Amino acid sequence: MNSEPTGPDPLDTVPADIPVHGRRGFVTEVDTTQFPDHGMAAEEAYELLHTALMLDGRETLNLASFVTTWMEPEAETLIHDTLRKNHIDHEEYPAASLVEEACVHMLGDLFNAPDPAEVVGVGTIGSSEAIMLGLLAHKRAWVNRRKAAGEPTDRPNVVFGAETHVVWDKFANYFDVEMRKIHMKPDRYVVTAAEVEERIDENTIAVGAVLGTTHIGEADPISEINDMLVRVESEKGWDIPLHVDAASGGFVAPFAHPDLLWDFRLSKVASINASGHKYGLVYPGVGWLVFRDRSKLPEDLVFSVNYLGGAQPTYTFNFSRGSAMIQAQMYNFLRLGRTGYESIVANTMANAAHLNEKLAESGRFEILNPGLAEPVVTFKLTGDPGFDVYHLSARLREDGWIVPAYSLPPDAEDVHLMRIVVRLDLSRQMIKVLLRDLHKAYEDLQAEQPTQRASSKADLWTAPAHAAAHGKARMGLHN
Ligand SMILES: Cc1ncc(COP(=O)(O)O)c(C=O)c1O
């Protein structure tokens, strides 16, 4: 460890007219285990980082991700304008904070709340924070109800299926709630209302259902689960709320399937989360949690602080955060409106349907979600062509495409599949090239007959620790 800065300060020694690529920075390795003794010129720091980040995949070709990779120049200008605003400072930045409130009410309207003016909610960093806050509110409401009735509160449980995102497991773990997770079936990747009913009881704080499942992009039977919960309440008196995880589907269903009943039109739906940074079409850093009305958010969870001036009610895990992505969300609401979102969603759905059709028609692939709840295409190999989806995924990487291959959770772990998330910046012309590259990779692999892997390749979902270690080793870092 260095206590004293060593060597000359490069800022004193680099003549301004030496070009960036002629300076020391480009022939010096950065010791990532030591805090730098000296600074460097701004353009040098920028160029070093900017260039090194090109080792990453290209965002637009990353078909693994739901997260937005393109916004209009005006949105980017607005983001730049608002980078300096700390969103929590409602007293100093009241206009910024009103935009968040307005987004929540507009979402209440989009999600068919009985009275959009009465919904309460919050802008979060993403759906993960939104889901945890939503479930925490249901846990507290359950505790408050039980205490008032003189009942024990030591055994809360939450019921959901394996098709949910890992954040549901995290919530159960972090907040000491028993997780009653319903396994997938080898040939069915969503839950049924009957499976949920078998697991609920008077200690169930909430049931979770997904609109746009993480692995397959399907929808749980939300309306049937709602009807079951209504019936159970009338038979047994258990008032169990339904939280809908609409991380990816919340900005698709209202435009692509307006008649699908999944939202506040269903009486047991107490809260909904949606990722603004997925089909809400904003860059990473914004999610939404919306409660049906204020009765669903226990008051004892809402904190008020006064040291930034004025009293500020907050229900978030974070305090300081950027305002830019919240402003960008409102930009999209105003700029696109329903008709704008409809036209974009219709294009992504049409492109996903086209991909589905072409993949199925080749006979080489079997589509796992032909119903297309959202523009996500999932498929597995037909039969055994002598290679697996992991080979195919790796081969597509050589052409720049990032198409993940993975296995499903138990009891469907023998299903190995690939997933293409169709976002607004994947044009039909690019899909044509993608299909050509995919078939070329298929034919090459079929000719090569590579060595089969023993089991699925470790990836971020099936083996996050392994995947992280691989990334670090590549960069010369150690765990
Ligand atoms: C269904 C579902 N829920 C929750 C999440 C987590 O969302 P976020 O990345 O916005 O935290 C995801 C992410 O893909 C998801 O697909």
pLDDT value at 182 more than 60: yes
The answer to whether the CB of 248 is under 6 A from ligand 1 is yes
pLDDT value at 105 more than 60: yes
pLDDT value at 456 more than 90: no
What is the position in ligand 1's atom list of the atom closest to the CA of 277? 10
pLDDT value, residue 303 = 79
- Please check whether residue 158 is in contact with residue 194, taking contact to mean a CB–CB distance below 8 angstroms: no
Largest CA distance in the chain: 82
pLDDT digits (tens, 9 = 90+) for 137-150: 999 999 999 999 99
Amino acid found at 212: G
Residues 181 and 115 in one domain: yes
Distance 245 CA to ligand 1 centre (A): 8
Tally: H helices and E strands in the chain: 13, 13
Report the half-sphere exposure of 32 (CA within 13 A, side-chain side). Answer: 6
351 compared with 465, residue with greater pLDDT:
351
Domain assignment present for residue 65? The answer is no
pLDDT digits (tens, 9 = 90+) for 35-74: 999 999 999 999 999 999 999 999 999 999 999 999 999 9
Q: Between the CA of residue 59 and those of 11, 65, 74, 393, 425, what are the distances in Å?
A: 34, 9, 20, 16, 10
Domain assignment present for residue 165? The answer is yes
What is the position in ligand 1's atom list of the atom closest to the CA of 126? 10
Average pLDDT over residues 280-297: 96
Domain assignment present for residue 288? The answer is yes
Distance 44 CA to ligand 1 centre (A): 36
Instruction: Report the residue among 211, 222, 248, 325 best suited for mutation to probe ligand 1: largest number of ligand atoms under 8 A from its CB.
Output: 248
The answer to whether the CB of 68 is under 6 A from ligand 1 is no
The answer to whether the CB of 280 is under 6 A from ligand 1 is no
The answer to whether the CB of 128 is under 6 A from ligand 1 is yes
Q: Between the CA of residue 82 and those of 28, 87, 100, what are the distances in Å?
A: 36, 9, 13
CB atoms within 10 A of CB 428: 11
Asked, as a colleague might, if the bond just before 411 is cis with ω within 30 of 0, I would say yes
Residues 166 and 283 in one domain: yes
HEC sequence for 281-292: CCCCCCEEEEEC
Distance 196 CA to ligand 1 centre (A): 21
Q: Residue 244 has which token pair? A: 């809908």
Residues 319 and 387 in one domain: no
The answer to whether the CB of 287 is under 6 A from ligand 1 is yes
Domain assignment present for residue 234? The answer is yes
pLDDT digits (tens, 9 = 90+) for 316-327: 999 999 999 999
The answer to whether the CB of 285 is under 6 A from ligand 1 is no
Q: Residue 388 has which token pair? A: 């697996």
Distance 460 CA to ligand 1 centre (A): 14
Instruction: Report the residue among 127, 419, 461 best suited for mutation to probe ligand 1: largest number of ligand atoms under 8 A from its CB.
Output: 127
pLDDT value at 429 more than 80: yes
Alpha-carbon dihedral sign for residues 294, 295, 300, 301: negative
The answer to whether the CB of 221 is under 6 A from ligand 1 is no
Residues 329 and 375 in one domain: no
Average pLDDT over residues 296-325: 81
Tell me the pLDDT band of 190, cut-offs 50, 70 and 90: very high
Distance 150 CA to ligand 1 centre (A): 37
Residues 319 and 244 in one domain: yes
Give the range of the structural domain holding residue 397, as residue numbers without chain letter.
Answer: 346-474
pLDDT value at 461 more than 90: no
Domain assignment present for residue 134? The answer is yes
Q: What is the CATH number of the domain that holds 357?
A: 3.90.1150.160
**Range in 17-26, 158-167, 281-290 the model is least confident about:** 17-26
pLDDT value at 117 more than 60: yes
CA distance 376 to 356: 9
The answer to whether the CB of 323 is under 6 A from ligand 1 is no
Total number of domains constituting the chain: 3
- Please check whether residue 181 is in contact with residue 198, taking contact to mean a CB–CB distance below 8 angstroms: no
CA distance 250 to 130: 13
Domain assignment present for residue 2? The answer is no
The percentage of the chain sitting over the pLDDT mark of 70, rounded to a whole number, equals: 89
Tell me the pLDDT band of 112, cut-offs 50, 70 and 90: very high
Average pLDDT over residues 443-458: 76
Distance 273 CA to ligand 1 centre (A): 9
pLDDT value, residue 17 = 84
Distance 146 CA to ligand 1 centre (A): 31
CA distance 254 to 249: 9
Residues 92 and 219 in one domain: yes
Residues 43 and 185 in one domain: no
pLDDT value, residue 451 = 78
pLDDT value, residue 388 = 95
pLDDT value, residue 24 = 85
Average pLDDT over residues 237-259: 98
pLDDT value, residue 265 = 98
Domain assignment present for residue 89? The answer is yes
- Please check whether residue 246 is in contact with residue 165, taking contact to mean a CB–CB distance below 8 angstroms: no
Distance 169 CA to ligand 1 centre (A): 12
Helix (H, G, I), strand (E, B) or coil at 76: helix
pLDDT value, residue 206 = 98
Q: Whose CA is closest to atom 14 on ligand 1?
A: 214
Domain boundary among 333, 359, 390: 333
Q: What is the CATH number of the domain that holds 265?
A: 3.40.640.10
pLDDT value, residue 91 = 85
pLDDT value at 12 more than 90: no
Domain assignment present for residue 67? The answer is no
pLDDT value, residue 136 = 98
Tell me the pLDDT band of 2, cut-offs 50, 70 and 90: very low
- Please check whether residue 136 is in contact with residue 175, taking contact to mean a CB–CB distance below 8 angstroms: yes
pLDDT value, residue 462 = 47
pLDDT value, residue 452 = 67
Residues 203 and 119 in one domain: yes
pLDDT value, residue 1 = 43
What is the position in ligand 1's atom list of the atom closest to the CA of 278? 10
**Range in 65-79, 422-436, 457-471 the model is least confident about:** 457-471
The percentage of the chain sitting over the pLDDT mark of 90, rounded to a whole number, equals: 82
Over the chain, what is the mean pLDDT?
A: 92
Residues 210 and 171 in one domain: yes
Residues 389 and 294 in one domain: no
Encode 206-240: b = buried (16+ Cβ within 10 Å), e = exposed. bbbbbbbbbbbbbbbbbbbbbbbbeebeeeeeeeb
17 compared with 241, residue with greater pLDDT:
241
34 compared with 476, residue with greater pLDDT:
34
Residues 29 and 81 in one domain: no
Domain boundary among 301, 333, 365: 333
pLDDT value, residue 302 = 87
Distance 393 CA to ligand 1 centre (A): 22
pLDDT digits (tens, 9 = 90+) for 147-161: 999 999 999 999 999
Residues 321 and 434 in one domain: no
The answer to whether the CB of 100 is under 6 A from ligand 1 is no
pLDDT value, residue 90 = 86
Q: Whose CA is closest to atom 7 on ligand 1?
A: 127
